[in-house]
Structure 1
Amino acid sequence: MAYHVLPDLVIHDDDIVVTYIHASGPGGQNVNKVATAAQIRFDATRCATLTSRLRARLRLLAGSRMTRDGVVILTAQRFRSQSRNREDAIERLLDLLRQAAHVPTRRIATRPSRTQRRRRMDDKSRRARIKQGRGRPMAE
């Protein structure tokens, strides 16, 4: 199975390793018997579809969820069933990859115009006069 992150970016099922572990939280008597939490491992360094730029952005966004070897580890235990936790973990991985693929536009530094600066200083002076008028009246 293949997961389409973007139209030009596809992650194959064999790039993702899913293991199941015991989950904390709700589950009743089932919680101690069945490993319902899904833990997925995605090896970004070995994935052929990722570009080096995308890997670098993924490393920044993943933070502590990525190991030194470049493996992204995500654990999902929100639901009581293995299948829903697996789907949740994979969806979170795909969202992370979408964020890494989105390159933010660089901000162009601009300066305020002379009129804007003058208006700002006039407003500051007006506020200062208002606040000065709130003081105690001077004794004559």
Structure 2
Amino acid sequence: MSQLKPYQKDFSSELNFTTSRSSGPGGQHVNKVNTKVTLRFDIDHSEMLSAEEKAVIKEKLSNKVTNDNFLVISAESERSQLKNKEESIKKFLDLLKQAFKVKKKRKPTKPSKTAVEKRLTEKKKQSEKKQMRQKF
């Protein structure tokens, strides 16, 4: 039985949505309809995440986490509230995926012997060229 990664779990029961009026152009439609969707996720009270996963989210997504440990994401690019809701969920899952991505360790490498030799011979040629230009 394979264990699901945190961003593959179903968080729908733990997500809270609020709607408000979108900003920007759009005329009467924007002024009348609440199409902006704000997603709020309570990190501390999540039952889907372990303590380590909560700590990782707080650390890596700190610019999107409020002082009371809510992850806040908003979407207002679409004219439809439903599409904005779907977009905010997609943003949420992408952020989780990004937060839990494990970086590859860098393997330190050395230049090859031929590369070192080539660099030194080039330096020697350059210095000889400069030596030839000098006045005595």
Report TM bin, short chain.
Answer: 0.7 to 0.9
Pairwise mapping of residues 66-85 of structure 1 onto structure 2 (< 5 A)?
A: 66-85=65-84
| Identity percentage of aligned residues | 31
CA contact (8 A) 2:11 2:48 kept: no
Structure 2 match to 1:45: 44
RMSD over aligned CA atoms reads 2.7
Q: Does 1:28 align with 2:27?
A: yes
More divergent stretch after superposition (89-98 vs 11-20): 11-20
The TM-score normalised by the length of structure 1 is 0.75
Distance 1:60 1:35, change over 3 A: same
Structure 2 match to 1:96: 95
Q: Does 1:118 align with 2:117?
A: yes
Question: How many Å separate the matches in 2 of 1:39 and 1:51?
Answer: 24
**More strand by percentage:** 1
- Give 1:13 deviation, angstroms: 1.4
Gaps of 5+ in 2: none
Residue type at the aligned position of 1:117: V
The TM-score normalised by the length of structure 2 is 0.77
Higher relative contact order (CA closer than 8 Å, sequence separation 6+)? 2
Q: Does 1:12 align with 2:11?
A: yes
Count of equivalent residues: 131
Gaps of 5+ in 1: 1-5
- CA deviation map 1:22-62 (0-9, x unaligned): 11123321111111100000112221222333333322332
CA contact (8 A) 2:61 2:99 kept: no
CA contact (8 A) 1:27 1:80 kept: no
**3-state secondary structure, aligned to 1:105:** coil
